[in-house]
Structure 1
Amino acid sequence: MNKSVLLLALGLGAGACHRAVPTTKGTAPSVSTSTAERSGKEAAVKAVDFNSPYLTAKGKVQATIKGDEKSATINIRMRRDSAIWVSAGLLGFEGVRALLTPDSVRVINRLDKTYFAGGYDYLTKLLNVPVSFAQAQALLLGNYQPAPAGAALTLGTGPGGGQRVAYPLNGVLVEQLLQAASGRVEKLTLTETGTDRSLAADYAEFQAVDGVKTPFAHSLLVDAKQGTVSTKASLKYSKVSAGREALGFPFDIPKGFQRMKGNK
């Protein structure tokens, strides 16, 4: 198994991307799930979120890292606003399992028999971008991420007549493009001010999911750039289901595994 691609799969499943924009001090924006909850310029944002109580998904991650192509399978379970469970592996063998809750991150790495249990500073260090549970959930579902309080938000017109929403966050320009017809986020771009580093996440293949009116993006393409160097990864779901049926989130630390301190 390849450790880097499994960690990348974990990062994609948790709703973030690998080492694109450097970590800066500050708090990741919270997630508003209803237009009625927004105020000021945010009230004019016509975003429509995917808000099923439960979600399960199975897919495949393909990545190009330093010119080397790798792949991994991924399984995701989610209880809205409560838990995100991710399992990534190759050839039928699990390599990494993670369980995220609003106040904790737990990860088992079977590749080197280690585990982590702690806060979101771990994912921030691993992925090199500020991460919160709400942000991870929004990225996983392809939901709109509102600007934090006090941020200078700008609204414009995007391709195809949709909305373009942008605001600065800790030295990074956050841009989101919303589809005109559905109000779904179809592109998220993070650009570090004054550098040549950026990250773009494109959501595509929007399809209906049983029991939910809002379409879900079955394809996610991530392109992280630093100058002329580009790291690309795609997550394509083969099966997605949603509803109100309760899910299990199994997570047991195997005997003999050593605890990590959260350092990269």
Structure 2
Amino acid sequence: MKLKVPLVNVVIVEVRRVSSGRLRTEKCLSGPNTHWNSLLTFSTIILVLLFSACHRPRQKNKTETSADTLAAVLKDTVAVLEKDTTAVAVVPPVIEPEETKVNVEMVDFKYLSAKSKVSFKSKDQDIDNANINIRMLKDSVLWLSIVAGPIEVVRGLITRDSILIVDRYHKEYYQYDFNTLSQKFNFQLSFDLIQSILVGNMPIPKKENQRFKKEKDYFMLRQQEGKIMLESYIGEQNRRLKKLLVTEQPTKNSLTLDYDDFTQLNNYLFPYTSLIQLDYQSEKDKLQYQTVFRIKHQKVELSEKTLSFPFSVPPKYERK
């Protein structure tokens, strides 16, 4: 009688009953590695126990007990395994898990314009449901204008190396570079990060050695860039960034983004609602603060049409 059992596509153990009433190992395919020999020994023992439980061997000699038979079988098995070290184990090809093959959809454009509603709350300001106009030249300029009723209260111009904010209500203006602003919030900020936040793209492209991990309805990618840890959550159905968690170490200051209301725009799914939360510790008083920023787009256009970015600071405005 012959029993063949495949083990992980690498090991084959063939067991035969012989005329002496014992079981012996006829053939063992294994590699020279001790780990494979140990695995094969253990697997063979399990097969012997199962076979003995299902088929009681015929005894020619009544004085020979089942325990003696099993001990002899194990002794023969170990002896064969110790001698057979010439075969080479066939290692199956490594198949990349399906969740690592996530093609994340990214929004591409030259010019972007949007009319939206914005709410902003921090330790110093509280703006609720104000109108905001946004214009952007990809990778270069971000222009915004916040309007309360018929009056423009804030205008901003952000480039790759500077941030200018004009507060028309208080007749003041603010000027920063990204290093200064990062120190103010104790959090590393950049033009690319702000642009990605607005359009819902991953801030850092996936590298070849990085892998997505399946978590409920998302594919999660964890990335480390210097002091920054990013966790991107990609929707299982639409392959768009649904949530982004950015944490700075060792301060543990964090930026959390949630995207919703995805709407077909040109050839992309664009998030019409964005909720941004910044939790940070102030360098000045060492207290914890939170800034919440919510954008609800009413109209968004992606085009090749050139946009203007008018900006000026009145000479009587005081710099803060």
- Same fold at TM > 0.5: yes
When residues 230 and 100 of structure 1 are mapped into structure 2, their CA distance, relative to the original with a 3 A threshold, is: closer
Secondary structure at 1:77 match in 2: strand
Q: How does 1:87-166 map to 2 (within 5 A)?
A: 87-146=145-204, 153-160=210-217, 162-166=218-222
Q: Which residue of 2 aligns with 1:199?
A: 255
Residue type of the partner of 2:244?
A: L
Asked if 1:187 corresponds to 2:243, the answer is yes
Total equivalences in the alignment? 213
Q: Which residue of 1 aligns with 2:115?
A: 58
Q: Which residue of 2 aligns with 1:245?
A: 305
Normalised TM-score (structure 1)? 0.68
Secondary structure at 1:145 match in 2: coil
Asked if 1:85 corresponds to 2:139, the answer is no
Q: Conserved in 2, the CA contact under 8 Å of 1:203 and 1:221?
A: yes
Q: Which residue of 2 aligns with 1:222?
A: 276
Aligned with 1:74 (options 126, 132, 142) = 132
- Pairwise CA distance, 1:243: 0.9
- Pairwise CA distance, 1:70: 4.0
Residue type of the partner of 2:260?
A: A
The runs of 5 or more residues in structure 2 that have no matched partner are 1-99, 282-287
- Pairwise CA distance, 1:229: 7.8
Distance 2:319 2:306 in 1: 30
Distance 1:252 1:258 in 2: 13
Distance 2:146 2:114 in 1: 12
Q: Conserved in 2, the CA contact under 8 Å of 1:142 and 1:185?
A: yes
Write the deviation string for residues 38-58 of structure 1: whole angstroms up to 9, x where unpaired.
xxxxx9552221111111111
Distance 2:291 2:157 in 1: 26
Q: Conserved in 2, the CA contact under 8 Å of 1:106 and 1:117?
A: yes
Q: Which residue of 2 aligns with 1:40?
A: none
When residues 159 and 93 of structure 1 are mapped into structure 2, their CA distance, relative to the original with a 3 A threshold, is: farther
Q: What is the identity percentage for the equivalent residue pairs of Structure 1 and Structure 2?
A: 28
Secondary structure at 2:103 match in 1: coil
Q: Conserved in 2, the CA contact under 8 Å of 1:144 and 1:184?
A: no
Write the deviation string for residues 46-100 of structure 1: whole angstroms up to 9, x where unpaired.
222111111111111234557x974122111011122110112322322221111
Q: Conserved in 1, the CA contact under 8 Å of 2:187 and 2:253?
A: no
Secondary structure at 1:129 match in 2: coil
Distance 1:94 1:174 in 2: 35
- Pairwise CA distance, 1:191: 3.5
Residue type of the partner of 1:139?
A: I
Q: Conserved in 1, the CA contact under 8 Å of 2:192 and 2:203?
A: no
Give the aligned CA root-mean-square deviation in angstroms.
3.2
- Pairwise CA distance, 1:122: 4.0
Write the deviation string for residues 7-28 of structure 1: whole angstroms up to 9, x where unpaired.
xxxxxxxxxxxxxxxxxxxxxx
Normalised TM-score (structure 2)? 0.57
Larger fraction in helix:
2
Residue type of the partner of 1:92?
A: P
- Pairwise CA distance, 1:219: 0.1
Secondary structure at 1:138 match in 2: helix
Q: Which residue of 1 aligns with 2:43?
A: none
- Pairwise CA distance, 1:259: 3.1
Q: Conserved in 1, the CA contact under 8 Å of 2:254 and 2:278?
A: yes
- Pairwise CA distance, 1:226: 7.0
When residues 222 and 136 of structure 1 are mapped into structure 2, their CA distance, relative to the original with a 3 A threshold, is: closer
Structure number, greater radius of gyration: 2
Distance 1:146 1:45 in 2: 15
Distance 1:102 1:45 in 2: 30
Asked if 1:259 corresponds to 2:259, the answer is no
